[in-house]
Amino acid sequence: MIPQTVEEIISQHTVFEIEAVDRMYLNLFMNRVQSERGTADFFINHRKEACATALVMSQMTRRFVKLVEDFAKNHDLEIVPFEKNVRKDDLAKQHLQQFPHEEGIYLIGKAQEKCKTFRTVTKTNPKTGKTYPHLIRTTVMVNHYYFYGVDKDFGPFFIKFCSYFPYTGKVCINGNEYLKRQLENKGIAFEPLDNGLRSCADPKRAQRIADGMSAEKIDRFINKWLSILPDPYTPVDHHAGYRYISSVLQIELSLTQVFDRPRHGRLFFEQIIRDNLTMGRAEQVPLIFGRKVIKTTPSDFKTKVVARDTIPSFRVVYKNSSIKQ
């Protein structure tokens, strides 16, 4: 009997299924220096500067840049400027393929990007007529450093730092890569996909491992690499309570379902489209062909044919959320 609904296709013909965190982006920031008052307190009361100015901030930046350059030299790495229209992930994959170690940093990239920082402007006291420096929040284009690495527990990742005060950062990890590393470490056989699993010798245990990527483990991972990478702040700063904290910026979740035969995958997408016709027609129903299509390609493409090297794509977008299958 040919399955007629999405539920029947999934229940009768799914041979492997696993749900996991896909990509996760986290903010890194010093909570105590995110405001003008906090920044002034850091430089005046903690660092004992006369006032918080762009000059003292630039001194921190020069020290941090020197630490990054020394780190690159000590690890035999170049600092690679990211060129326009070159995907950072593609470049990172090329370097990762040549990286021989289980763990470490394999690429440092540099790119000019916008960031929020502070600068000083001169104001005048209306009563005394004297001028004084005043901190304001502003947006500038400055260098950001990308540290691409491999962790023995989390797999490939990157950590990005802004090169200017307050030196905010971002962390990117992948739950599917975490799962692969954990399965390898535990000796559980699996067949990998580019971003997930196609099969596993112990699916239930794999799901438990995926579910076990907790906030505590992520925090340990972040703190581990913060202790290894160049730090714009000093040990004295950290001892005084100026420490990086993280928050979730973006999280993507993946549900991998492997069907017993390719035709059931095609039926799944066709039925998804049919089921949604009564709710409003899909805005786009594209097929992604495994060949380049240009104006001179001999076909008018009036008939859509699912054939070899064809990947059906189904995407639903609602405000800031999306589902892609």
pLDDT value of position 325: 59
- Determine whether 63 is exposed, middle or buried from the number of CB atoms within 10 Å of its CB (0-12, 13-18, 19+): middle
Q: 308 CB contacts (<8 Å, ≥6 apart)?
A: 290
Phi-psi region of 196 (alpha: psi -120 to 50; beta: other; left: phi over 0): left
Residues 143-184 pLDDT 10s: 999 999 999 999 999 999 999 999 999 999 999 999 999 999
Alpha carbon distance 67, 34 (integer Å): 23
Q: Is the pLDDT of residue 305 over 50?
A: no
Alpha carbon distance 55, 143 (integer Å): 17
Residues 121-136 pLDDT 10s: 888 888 888 887 888 8
Q: Is the pLDDT of residue 287 over 60?
A: no
Q: Is the peptide bond before 166 cis (omega within 30 degrees of 0)?
A: yes
Q: Which of 91-100, 105-114, 307-316 has the lowest mean pLDDT?
A: 307-316
SS3 152: coil
The two tokens of residue 320 are 């800031």
- One-letter amino acid of 181: R
- Is pLDDT larger for residue 323 or for residue 270? 270
Q: Which of 9-23, 79-93, 157-171, 309-323 has the lowest mean pLDDT?
A: 309-323
pLDDT value of position 306: 41
- Is pLDDT larger for residue 60 or for residue 5? 60
Residue by residue, DSSP assigns 106-123 as: EEEEEEEEEEEEEEEEEE
Residues 235-253 pLDDT 10s: 999 999 999 999 999 999 9
Residue by residue, DSSP assigns 3-51 as: --SHHHHHHHHEEEEEEEEEEEEEEEEEGGGSSHHHHHHIIIIIS--SS
- One-letter amino acid of 49: E
For the chain, the domains span 6-12+260-324, 23-174+212-250
pLDDT value of position 242: 96
The two tokens of residue 48 are 């004992």
CB 254 within 8 A of CB 195: yes
Q: Is the pLDDT of residue 298 over 70?
A: no
Alpha carbon distance 303, 51 (integer Å): 70
Residues 142-154 pLDDT 10s: 999 999 999 999 9
